[in-house]
Structure 1
Amino acid sequence: MKLSIQSLANIAIELQHGLAGRDRFQRLISSVRELLQCDASALLRYENQQFRPLAIDGLSPDVLGRRFALSSHPRLEAIARAGNVVRFPADSQLPDPYDGLIPGHDELKVHACIGLPLFADQELIGALTFDSLNPAQFDVFSDEELWLIGALASSALNTALLVSMLEKGALPTTGEINSGKQSTYRADEEMVGLSEPMKQLQHEISVVAGSELNVLITGETGVGKELVANAIHQLSPRADKPMVYLNCAALPESVAESELFGHVKGAFTGAIHNRTGKFEMADNGTLFLDEIGELSLVLQAKLLRVIQYGDLQRVGEDSTKRVNVRILAATNRDLKQATIAGSFRVDLFHRLSVFPLYVPSLRERKGDVVLLAGFFVEQIRNKLGLTQISLPADTLSMLESYDWPGNVREMKHAIERAAVLARAAQNQGEVILHRYLFNLPISEPQEETNSNLIATVTASSSLNLQQATQGFQRQMIANTLKDNQMNWSASARALGLDVGNLHRLAKRLGMK
């Protein structure tokens, strides 16, 4: 099968449709996957020495949240370093980043793999990858034909990136500003999320970041308020200056003033030398005051003066010093109620909350759970030195069903714990995070399904016990197979059966 001019033209026409960038990308890889008759395809964005999936087809949904660092994925590194089509032989010893991530084929390795680096003005901006379980799937396609697909994808991706830069309406998801400040990037600082609440938050961050306004960041514990503060700083004109962090809840009353404003030698017992406070350290930069609601009223009054007039006075010093600091404050308390109760100053509250930002809880952004799962799984995979960590469909469903009272922080710790347990139990480089490894207090959806099945089977009085039992087993197996994309091995694990016994039972029930 050869690629026809018409098929390539159809792809080019589809890319011109008035769709949002992500929808256009999804249509692109879906069309190409159908054209090449492969099992999986992905469009990846290259930035900061890693590939970030923009659209996937045929892969587990958590892949969209994964970040593939070149340093730990040699195949993707080979694609990034290449200037043309990269074909990996079926017996290549380089681990494939998608092994175990094609639903319904958990035990099978990817055999055929092709990578197309995408360029704009000779600069790498992304890659297209195609994978197949058939080793000879791509043999009929020439490099020239595949390169034409890459050229179309490069144009579409570059256009979308240029539009994004012009609109300046979206927060760079890796902490990298479009001007190329890669030195400030840290993988754990990325704000992962495509849900509407996260899109709204990202828009508000982009609006306020370029101003000099003080920002009050509110939200439950574990939602990522520090990530929001970091994003504001990185997108602000002060990005090349320091952002100084101070946890107000961890400040003993006796040293809190010194921590904030500094002190001079001899100011009090133990002051054996001059000390620079956080305000001076953040001069011309940003000061992030976490848990601001825990400050005492006395310190609140002194903080208010610095914010109002920019005048700083060290403990034990008569003279004042001018500082230029932007304040970002965060709290999980209701400061408005605290002002009514008299535990927080009204004037300070209004000074801090010039532009309030609310960070949604994980319950309010359920659509991001799968993405976050992939993001954290890839991080812990690197830390544990594992080849692959996969998340079965029933595990992802369980993660989405849980309320996560500890929000993103709790979810990260739960995945880390499950990965450590899986490594110890499975004792191999590739591990599967089964749902029982999480030990989450969640009602089992299977129990409700079983109750429905029992009610359905027993509703007919014409069935004897054996017939009713067999009917229940058939329906139970059929539902489990459907939930696991007709994968018998995964279904056997979900049902607590040996896969051979499951096949024999299904045959006895007339299902095979």
Structure 2
Amino acid sequence: MTDFLDALRDLLARLSTGDAEDTYHDDWTRLLHALVGDTQADASTLMVMNQDSLRPVAVLGLPDDVRGRPFRLQEHPRLAAIASHPGICRFPPDSELPDPFDGLIDEDMSQVHDCLGVALRDGDRLIGLLTLDALDVQGLASLDDGELLAAARLLGTCLRVAEQLSTTRQQLSEALEEEQRSVPLQQWHSPVMGRLMNALSLVAPTDMSVLLHGETGVGKEAVARALHVRSQRHRGPLVQVNCAALPEHLIESELFGHRRGAFSGAHAERRGHFAMADGGTLMLDEVGELPLSLQPKLLRVLQEGEIQPLGSERAERIDVRIIAVTNRDLSSEVEAGRFREDLYHRLNAFPLTVPPLRERPEDISLLAGHFLEDNRIRLGIANLRLDADAMAALTAWQWPGNIRELEHTLGRAALRVLGEQGAVSPQMRRQSVLRLSPHHLALPGLPANEIPTCGETPAPPTGAKKATLDDAVALPLREATDDFQRRHIQAHLEAKSGNWAATARGLCIDAGNLHRLARRLGLKD
């Protein structure tokens, strides 16, 4: 408990100084490890609540992609039961409620056999959950409910204080203010996205025009939505218009509106996109596609803050913040004479560039977790996970189509692995835990023999007894499994000169989970 209190004090100190941005994930993970690291739990999570879904801010013994998954209470009855329980909610081994982490624990694909959780509250308001899972029946029986409940109350207080500290609202919004169906925007590992989020937080509260650059599929629309949500205009409308999809002869009418009879076919008055966005934000997607003939009119609207609908004799005041989005290099377009320089500088008041996915491989696991959860729900299965080699393959790929390509790759892979099951009943599907391997991903240009692996199998230690099939047959299944794991870990440990951290990396297992497993197998005290 002393380590937990120290970790809690350090986290609160960072939050109070507004210094948690770069260490947000590490601090919460350290706090969780201090609380449950010495228990027999094989997996644990600390989640925060957002509307009707939970977002993990720290996980132990689970793949990192779990932090990218939203867990909606209506889809996870076990989490809903914990959320409604006034104390420590323990589940019997034969509970019929599906566990959200079945098949996701690093050690193997086994189902959870011992599970408990506790709701974190601010008064009557649910603000988070703490969950612990063990593969062994009664693995969590020795935990003191009183101590755990007291720690949970401290965690709840920590979340409440963090929420109230004005200097850390941006950090807390990483877990509390994301839209349920949007790609997560804040929980990034990569430095490039950290810098982008810092810049976004600076410009969002202002009325400056923003020019968003980025390749196709990098998530520019999601960044534009984040700019609007974090702006002073968040209660106003966000109107999106794709400039490339507008017929050239109707662009002026679509943007600025028209009066009845303004031109042939104008049988009724029409509000333009600028009028619809009044008091809010107008997102001009693919702004580089606007024809030169219309660009002076757009420039005048931005300069004067007025529009004049076609067929109207009077100008109308509008109050609109512009977010222009493009995958073109507009400065080159200006040099080529295809885009007005004065309009470019007006739109480019604050430029933001969304980096391509190949420059941020550290974020792939979070994005993958988000899309895996989407596909799990869509296909109606218990769980969907990536094996270590599939995760390595995703990280090694260059992603020319960026996030959109990743989303479609995982969607196709999920269908492939489901198809391998053949025709199964809906009930069997709901109980299935499916694992994606590299061949399900079918990434082009990455032959099977070039797919990176998580670790290499070491040569057996000199003089070690080689396990035989006859040895295994003589043992019960659990003892045979333990014997194999003991030998395998020992071989890796000797190959790594006794370095437990390197051994965990070679075995593709969480270090804390490896230490707990090693203690259970008698490999360490």
TM range (shorter): 0.7 to 0.9
Question: TM-score, normalized by length of structure 1?
Answer: 0.82
Q: How big is the shift at 1:104? A: 2.8
Residue equivalent to 1:132: 134
Which digits, 9 at most, give the CA deviation of each residue in 1:17-74, with x for residues without a partner?
3664432321222233332221111111111211111111111121111110111111
Q: Is the 8 A contact 1:42 1:57 kept in 2?
A: yes
Structure 1 distance, partners of 2:100, 2:27, is 24
Residue equivalent to 2:341: 346
Confirm or deny that 1:242 pairs with 2:237: yes
Question: TM-score, normalized by length of structure 2?
Answer: 0.80
The structure with higher relative contact order (CA 8 Å, sep 6+) is 2
Q: 1:193 to 1:345 in 2, by over 3 A?
A: same
Structure 1 distance, partners of 2:47, 2:175, is 14
- Structure 2 alignment gaps of length 5 or more: 15-22, 423-428, 460-487, 496-503, 510-525
Q: How big is the shift at 1:143? A: 2.2
Q: Is the 8 A contact 1:261 1:313 kept in 2?
A: yes
Of 280, 283, 287 in structure 2, the residue corresponding to residue 292 of structure 1 is 287
Q: 1:15 to 1:449 in 2, by over 3 A?
A: closer
Of 215, 221, 224 in structure 2, the residue corresponding to residue 226 of structure 1 is 221
Structure 2 distance, partners of 1:78, 1:483, is 37
Which digits, 9 at most, give the CA deviation of each residue in 1:105-124, with x for residues without a partner?
11x10000010111234422
Residue equivalent to 2:444: 441
Q: Is the 8 A contact 1:193 1:372 kept in 2?
A: no
Residue equivalent to 2:368: 373
Residue equivalent to 1:283: 278
Of 147, 150, 158 in structure 1, the residue corresponding to residue 149 of structure 2 is 147
Partner secondary structure for residue 38 of structure 2: helix
Q: 1:174 to 1:290 in 2, by over 3 A?
A: farther
Q: Is the 8 A contact 1:51 1:126 kept in 2?
A: yes
Residue equivalent to 1:55: 58
Of 300, 309, 333 in structure 2, the residue corresponding to residue 305 of structure 1 is 300
Q: Is the 8 A contact 2:70 2:180 kept in 1?
A: no
Q: Is the 8 A contact 2:238 2:281 kept in 1?
A: yes
Residue equivalent to 1:257: 252
Residue equivalent to 2:413: 418
Which digits, 9 at most, give the CA deviation of each residue in 1:303-358, with x for residues without a partner?
11111102211122222211111111100000011111110000101110101111
Residue equivalent to 1:507: none
Which digits, 9 at most, give the CA deviation of each residue in 1:182-204, with x for residues without a partner?
xxx44225325232111111111
Residue equivalent to 2:191: 196
Bigger drift between 167-176 and 49-58 goes to 167-176
Partner secondary structure for residue 37 of structure 2: helix
Q: Is the 8 A contact 1:104 1:485 kept in 2?
A: no
Structure 2 distance, partners of 1:64, 1:273, is 51
CA RMSD of the aligned region, Å? 2.6
Confirm or deny that 1:70 pairs with 2:64: no
Confirm or deny that 1:90 pairs with 2:93: yes
Q: 1:223 to 1:153 in 2, by over 3 A?
A: same
Q: Is the 8 A contact 2:184 2:367 kept in 1?
A: no
Q: 1:202 to 1:397 in 2, by over 3 A?
A: same
| Alignment-mate amino acid for residue 309 of structure 1 | E
| Alignment-mate amino acid for residue 123 of structure 1 | R
Confirm or deny that 1:10 pairs with 2:3: yes
Q: 1:170 to 1:350 in 2, by over 3 A?
A: farther
| Alignment-mate amino acid for residue 228 of structure 2 | H
Which digits, 9 at most, give the CA deviation of each residue in 1:76-107, with x for residues without a partner?
1111122211101111111111111111311x
Q: 1:383 to 1:221 in 2, by over 3 A?
A: same
Structure 1 distance, partners of 2:450, 2:257, is 60
Partner secondary structure for residue 22 of structure 1: helix
Q: 1:440 to 1:39 in 2, by over 3 A?
A: same
Q: Is the 8 A contact 1:219 1:331 kept in 2?
A: yes
Residue equivalent to 2:470: none
Partner secondary structure for residue 187 of structure 1: coil
- Structure 1 alignment gaps of length 5 or more: 1-7, 178-184, 457-473, 487-512
Once the two structures are aligned, what percentage of the paired residues are identical? Answer: 42
Which digits, 9 at most, give the CA deviation of each residue in 1:346-387, with x for residues without a partner?
010111010111111111111000111001111121122222
